[in-house]
Amino acid sequence: MHATVDDELAERQLQVLVEQGDKLRLQIVLAASVVGAVSWGSAAPGLVVGWVLAAVLLREWRAWAVRRLPGDASRPVASRVQAVVAWNAALGIVNGLAALFMLGLGTTQDALLTMLMISWGSASVATNSVILRAFYAFSAPMFGLVALMWVWQGGLLGWSLAVLVLVVYSIHIKFARRASQTFDESFHMRRDNLALANRLREERENLLKAKDVAETANLAKSRFLASASHDLRQPMQALALNSAALSRSVDLAEARLLAADMAESVDALRTMLDGLLDLSQYDTGRWPVRPRLFELRKLLDGLAVTFRAQALAKGLDLRLECPDRWLVDSDPELLHRLLANLVDNAVKYTQQGEVVLRAVADGGAGGVVVEVRDTGPGIAEQDHARIFDELVQLGNEARDRRHGYGLGLSIVRRLVDLLGLRIGVTSALGQGACFALHIPPAFVRPGRAPLPAIAPAPGPTAAAMRGMRVLVLDDDEAIARSYARMLRAADCHALVAHDSDTALTLLQELRFDVALVDFRLRANDDGLVATQRLQEQQPNLAVVLCSADQSDALQARADALGVQLLRKPVDEATLLAALQQSAGRHASTLGEEHG
Report which of residues 460 and 347 the model is more confident about. Answer: 347
Q: How confident is the model at residue 5 (pLDDT cuts 50, 70, 90)?
A: confident
Q: Does the pLDDT of residue 551 top 70, yes or no?
A: no
User: Which of 240, 304, 237, 296 has its CA nearest to residue 267?
Assistant: 240
Which residues touch 530 (CB under 8 Å, ≥6 apart)? 473, 500, 503, 517, 521
At 472 the pLDDT is 92
Mean pLDDT over each residue of the chain, to the nearest integer: 77
Q: How many CB atoms lie within 10 A of CB 144?
A: 17
Sign of CA dihedral 200, 203, 209, 212: positive
Q: How confident is the model at residue 46 (pLDDT cuts 50, 70, 90)?
A: confident
User: Which of 496, 571, 579, 493 has its CA nearest to residue 541?
Assistant: 579
At 182 the pLDDT is 85
Lowest mean pLDDT among 14-18, 44-48, 94-98, 390-394: 390-394
pLDDT digits (tens, 9 = 90+) for 266-282: 665 565 556 555 655 55
Which residues touch 70 (CB under 8 Å, ≥6 apart)? 11, 14, 15, 18, 80
Q: Are 238 and 479 in contact (CB under 8 A)?
A: yes
Residue 285: Cβ-neighbour burial (10 angstroms; 0-12, 13-18, 19+)? exposed
Residue-by-residue DSSP string for 354-372: EEEEEEEEETTTTEEEEEE
Domain limits of the chain?
Answer: 5-199, 293-446, 462-594
The phi and psi torsions of 265 (rounded to 5 degrees) equal: -65, -40
| Superfamily of domain 462-594 in the CATH hierarchy | Response regulator (3.40.50.2300)
Residues of the chain above pLDDT 90, percent: 5
Euclidean distance between CA atoms 165 and 181, whole angstroms: 24
- 293-446, which class in CATH? alpha beta
Residue 327's SS3 state is strand
User: Which of 83, 76, 99 has its CA nearest to residue 17?
Assistant: 83
Lowest mean pLDDT among 131-135, 232-236, 473-477: 232-236
> What single DSSP character describes residue 218?
H
pLDDT digits (tens, 9 = 90+) for 316-358: 888 888 887 788 899 888 888 888 888 888 888 888 899 999 8
